[in-house]
Chain A
Amino acid sequence: MSDDDLDPAIHVPARLRIMVTLASLGEGDDLSFTRLQDLIGLTPGNLITHLRKLEDAGYITTHKNGSGVTARTAVALTNGGRAALDRYSATLRALLDSAGTPVTGTRT
């Protein structure tokens, strides 16, 4: 097993942070784009780029509530996204175990 076995759609620092942050929400919850940006610390452009890749992979959904100046874009993890993060975590744990590294932070 090698790093190549880790899902490339998730195995990027920014996208990993996005996935873990969204996974910390309750099922059926979503997070506004601005709050997510605040938590992840990316520029809007970078965040949009990463969200688009995760959305293309089917791991997140985005939707807009309201219209005009009150419009709010919300981001949520899909069931497939949650399962993908679980798989990523399991693979990561296996990698760290095989390398004899203490495992922390890989539980979803």
Chain B
Amino acid sequence: MKSYLLRRGWQSLLVLFGVSVVVFLILHLTGDPALLLLPPDATAEDVARFRRAMGFDDPVAVQYLRFLKGALRGDFGESLRHGEPAMGLVLERLPATLELAGAGLLIALCLAIPAGIVSAVRRNTPVDYISTIVALLGQAMPTFWLGIMLILVFSVRLNWLPSSGRGELEHLVLPAITLGLFTTARITRLTRSGMLEVLSQDYIRTARAKGVSEPPVVWKHALKNASIPIVTIVGIELGTLLGGSVITETIFAWPGVGRLSVQAIFNRDYPVVQAAVFLLASTFVLVNFFVDVVYTYLDPRIRFR
């Protein structure tokens, strides 16, 4: 088990290294980062001076090592717009994004797991059909449209909930539903198919045959074994949630990392973009490493792989 975790840890480090390369390359996509960072009316002389000052004339490998050295200390340079350290700006917004993603995930788990179980247990009944249809629609609905429709109904028409900003709990409701619906749909379908698979196993038949009543069969014997793929998908869905926050935060003017990065892209404030992309990607890598650690406790078979 120790060697498995060591190997996973080493792999995560490699992935983080790859993430840093990609984030570094974002600035070098057009070939000349100086032109990208300076306003379009900069003179050729300004560009040349800036290029020298920033070290853009050095070989790419040297520039990357310099970037990596900074990145390891959380230094991505200063925001071109705000004149503050880029990472500081991003970290300031991180709690808002984590709050939103956490709420989205919570909604998804609270709705999806019961829905998936009921769907599997009452297979081919109206309950199953309704939950399947809702899950299909949830997977087909674009986040930004759902958000706008929720605003239309609950903010514009009914005037029940605020349509933008962060603060009270009521501010969180619409964005969290918007962000969580896709994940809800995915986990519902996964739970349903996982439970159906487990419920047809021999050990479930044995449990029933020896007289265990239905609720413990479902909630104890079956769910425990169906939970392993659900834990995996929670790690992967976190990526969906962090990525989805870009859109959801833009619609609801939620002051998080996603909205900050969209604004930064339009302001051509690339240090902030790099810091945000790097932070969200590393969060994803670390969470998935953590999920793997949890996993080895849930499923002892993995320890011996």
A binds B: no
Which A residues are closer than 8 A to B by beta carbons?
none
Which B residues are closer than 8 A to A by beta carbons?
none
